[in-house]
Copies of this chain bind each other. A is one copy, B any other.
Amino acid sequence: MDDQRHDERPIGLFDSGVGGLTVLEAVARRFPEESFLYLGDTARVPYGTKSARTVERYTLQVADCLLRRGVKGLVVACNTASALGLAALRAQSPVPVIGVIEPGCRAAAAARPDGGQPARVGVIGTRSTVASGAYPYHLAMLDPSIQVISLACPLFVPLVEEGWVDHPAVRMIVTDTLTPLFTQRLDALILGCTHYPVLKGVIAETMGVRVALIDSSAAVADELSRHLGGLIAPAPRGAAQRLAFLVTDVADRFKETATRFISGIAVEAVEVVDL
């Protein structure tokens, strides 16, 4: 009886490139018996500058690749793909699909300001994520009184991808880009792109201590915990965690960049796949 409620298949998790590894690290730590199969669409990164139609098509192709390898659930660990491809993917996926946007919104909506005012929430993301309106939409569903201020930060992804994180030039670019948010008296700022947690230190210094930074990787782990044992059967007790990686181009560079993103898990066994 008990065996039927366990499932040793991995959970699929994907991103346009390496950014989603921040989410993988959070869920792999939180669920040490679960196995994960990560796919980084490194041949077509970045998604954040592409049209809704293109991102939706890519999202379905990547999910299909993971489904053919037998995953028991899908985590779309990319804000742009979550914003533009999640509805189409949910409509046709045979397994449960978790995005990063709804969990991030729930965490942000919990950030209550002093004095009972409506929360003022900032959202930073890629151009496509911001243009999609996905964050304002989901925040309004949770609490229509929340005021949302969105800002695209298109240079943050290439800075992180190239490892420019601690350089004074990065501080200048982050400060200049975030300037429109300084006067907005924000209660919380959603880091609406999986690359941005890498710049969290600089963003925190720039925004000041009064603004709560919402990193969706922890929120996604919360969401997954609600699904495990419900729609997704958990791994058998005592199962050894397996982590495997698929990329669509240049496996060596993926490993090198991955070590800049995450410290808690080893990125080995990287396989190149054609989509």
Chain A 154-182 interface 0/1 with B at a Cβ cutoff of 8 Å (1 = within): 11011101101001111011001000000
Q: Is the CB of A169 within 8 A of B158?
A: no
| Complex-state Cα separation, A179 to B240, whole angstroms | 47
Q: Which of B49, B159, B164 contacts A253 (CB 8 A)?
A: B49
Chain A 139-167 interface 0/1 with B at a Cβ cutoff of 8 Å (1 = within): 00000000000000011011101101001
Q: Interface residues of A toward B: which range?
A: 20 to 34
**Oligomer: number of copies:** 2
Q: Is the CB of A54 within 8 A of B50?
A: no
CB neighbours (8 Å) of A50 from chain B are 43, 249-250
Q: Which of B42, B45, B154, B172 contacts A172 (CB 8 A)?
A: B172
CB neighbours (8 Å) of A45 from chain B are 49
Assess A168 versus B172: contact at CB under 8 Å? Given A158-B158, A249-B50: yes
Interface residues of A in 227-258 (CB under 8 A from B): 249-250, 253
Q: Is the CB of B155 within 8 A of A164?
A: yes
Assess A176 versus B172: contact at CB under 8 Å? Given A50-B43, A158-B158: no
- 7 CB contacts below 8 A, A to B, read A49-B161, A51-B250, A54-B249, A155-B162, A155-B164, A167-B173, A169-B176
